[in-house]
Structure 1
Amino acid sequence: MYDLATRRHALSLLDHGRSLNSVSKETGISRAAIRAWQVRIEPLPRMNQTQCTAPPDPAAYSYLLGLYLGDGCISPHPRGGYHLRIACADAWPGLIEQCRAAILAVRPSDKVYVLQRQGCVAVTSYGRHWPCLFPQHGPGKKHERRIALDDWQQEIVDAHPWEFIRGLIHSDGCRITNWTTRMVGGVKKRYEYPRYFFTNKSDDIRKLCTDTLSKVGVQWTITARGSDPFNVSVARKESVALMDAHIGPKY
């Protein structure tokens, strides 16, 4: 894990004529990482009126935003433009199709294709406006930098909260069935109950999730994975029923 200052220092050595090998040996950073930083280190553009317009389908955008914050990334193309990639597990073909449909609704003029990876596919779209549509991108992993919505994004999420929550759950969440046993009249009986989880290392992304859940009346708790509070849990019967009505399981 390297911060932005470390990345810029390595690139500055290259700018002063040093070879990739010598910079790698001096800094202890792999050549592959430094090579990737050469195209990713500079900030990408944010939305303004001269760059791109607001998404034509705000509900689809809200869903896609949730998918992006969970399992998405943006990377520049060497010849210009950018790739948006959303990782979707092979086990959920319906999710792959929903992701593809959301991308087309947000950017009807951009093509969408699927790249097979081990255990998953990357639903991918090339275009020039993905960075300004998702200004949360940047160098490094999402949980290593601040994630906050722009005002125009928050307005869309406020107008379409369930679509945003659905995107988060479909990317980094799940609906499971827990069970427990109780003694009733001297007989051990098994009881099952469903619950939802959203798991993400980013404190900021988890807060976006919980803030939106609270706005729609869903009660939630934070549970730890080991010593880290990575899990948002929805277990109360009324809240699970509300989630079922608007989210439902992956398929």
Structure 2
Amino acid sequence: MYDRRVRRLAVEALAAGETLSAVSRRLGVSRATLRDWLKRPDPKLRPTECPRCAEGQLPSADYAHLLGLYLGDGCLSALKKGVYSLRIACDDRYPRLIDEAAGAIEAIHPNRPVHRVQAVGYTAVVSYWKHWPCLFPQHGPGPKHLRRIELDGWQRELIVAEPGLFLRGLFNSDGCRVANWTARRVGGELKRYEYPRCQFSNESADIMALCQWALDLVGIPWRMPRRNALSVARREAVAALDLCVGPKS
């Protein structure tokens, strides 16, 4: 009996063009078994299985997005019998954000309901699972800005693959897009000009550093007007960030 990791490595190698003989020699799996794996897709994880513990695969796009939401407006809470609740607080003014948060959770933890709990001014998107701490090892006691927030190596790899969606989660949680203005004298007359600016605010220096890193990955310039506020103000930079984040409403 081969574990999921061996099966996944074999199927990925064959899909990349490696021959049956080469994969068989390298992984110690018979050619007959390899042919069978190609004919029959890998069975899905059981609803209670964790893609990290069971060597499954996380959907990188949905995970990158959900990680950004979690670092911004999410939390894990320990319940009875080892179960944890993942809660993402979403402003009721932006129903698209609520739908996207629920969709990302459903993609990562399918076959279990995602709940929408109404509170004053916001909706908490909630999911229950024993393995949420496996996927969010940043979980710990106290507010995020009072503890160290570092990504594991496998998390960084997923963000490098999908930095735009990670930024989408961060900015949809703790970001905003505003219209700034300035006055210039043109031909002796003072004229007012407006321009868009995106801002990300967070009290955690570690989360702020992750936002800076992701912006660097997609080549978007930024500056820090305050220690807890990041600004993207150049016209071309705002346009590039708009493609990643999209409108909130």
TM-score, normalized by length of structure 1? Answer: 0.76
Contact 2:69 2:88 in 1 (8 A): yes
- For residues 207 and 105 of structure 1, the distance between their equivalents in structure 2, rounded to whole angstroms, comes to 27
Partner residue, 1:69:
71
Q: Which runs of 4+ in 1 moved over 6 A?
A: none
Check 1:70–1:235 CA distance in 2 against 1; reply closer, same or farther (3 A cut): same
Contact 2:51 2:58 in 1 (8 A): no
Residue 238 in 1 paired to residue 224 in 2? no
Q: CA deviation at 1:48?
A: 9.1
Who wins on radius of gyration, i.e. which is larger? 2
**Percent of counterpart pairs with the same letter?**
52
Check 1:75–1:146 CA distance in 2 against 1; reply closer, same or farther (3 A cut): same
Moved more, 179-188 or 92-101: 179-188
Contact 1:146 1:204 in 2 (8 A): yes
Check 1:212–1:232 CA distance in 2 against 1; reply closer, same or farther (3 A cut): same
Contact 1:55 1:61 in 2 (8 A): no
| SS of aligned partner of 1:109 | coil
Partner residue, 2:207:
205
Over the aligned positions, Cα root-mean-square deviation in angstroms equals 1.5
TM-score, normalized by length of structure 2? Answer: 0.77
- For residues 217 and 54 of structure 1, the distance between their equivalents in structure 2, rounded to whole angstroms, comes to 31
Check 1:135–1:54 CA distance in 2 against 1; reply closer, same or farther (3 A cut): farther
- Tell me which of 108, 113, 116 is aligned to 1:114: 116
Q: CA deviation at 1:189?
A: 1.3
- For residues 173 and 209 of structure 1, the distance between their equivalents in structure 2, rounded to whole angstroms, comes to 11
Alignment of 1:149-188 (within 5 A): 149-188=151-190
Alignment of 1:37-76 (within 5 A): 51-76=53-78
- For residues 239 and 178 of structure 1, the distance between their equivalents in structure 2, rounded to whole angstroms, comes to 15
- For residues 116 and 57 of structure 2, the distance between their equivalents in structure 1, rounded to whole angstroms, comes to 22
- Tell me which of 67, 81, 84 is aligned to 1:82: 84
Contact 1:67 1:170 in 2 (8 A): yes
Contact 2:75 2:139 in 1 (8 A): yes
- For residues 204 and 110 of structure 1, the distance between their equivalents in structure 2, rounded to whole angstroms, comes to 32
Partner residue, 1:31:
none
Contact 1:52 1:129 in 2 (8 A): no
Contact 1:83 1:125 in 2 (8 A): yes
- For residues 73 and 122 of structure 1, the distance between their equivalents in structure 2, rounded to whole angstroms, comes to 10
Q: CA deviation at 1:182?
A: 1.7
Check 1:201–1:134 CA distance in 2 against 1; reply closer, same or farther (3 A cut): same
Q: CA deviation at 1:78?
A: 2.3
Partner residue, 2:23:
none
Partner residue, 2:6:
none
Check 1:98–1:64 CA distance in 2 against 1; reply closer, same or farther (3 A cut): same
Moved more, 55-64 or 140-149: 55-64
Moved more, 181-190 or 214-223: 181-190
- For residues 53 and 220 of structure 1, the distance between their equivalents in structure 2, rounded to whole angstroms, comes to 37
Q: CA deviation at 1:54?
A: 4.8
Check 1:52–1:178 CA distance in 2 against 1; reply closer, same or farther (3 A cut): farther
Length, aligned pairs only: 200
Q: CA deviation at 1:249?
A: 2.1
Instruction: Give the unaligned 5+ runs of structure 2.
Output: 1-49
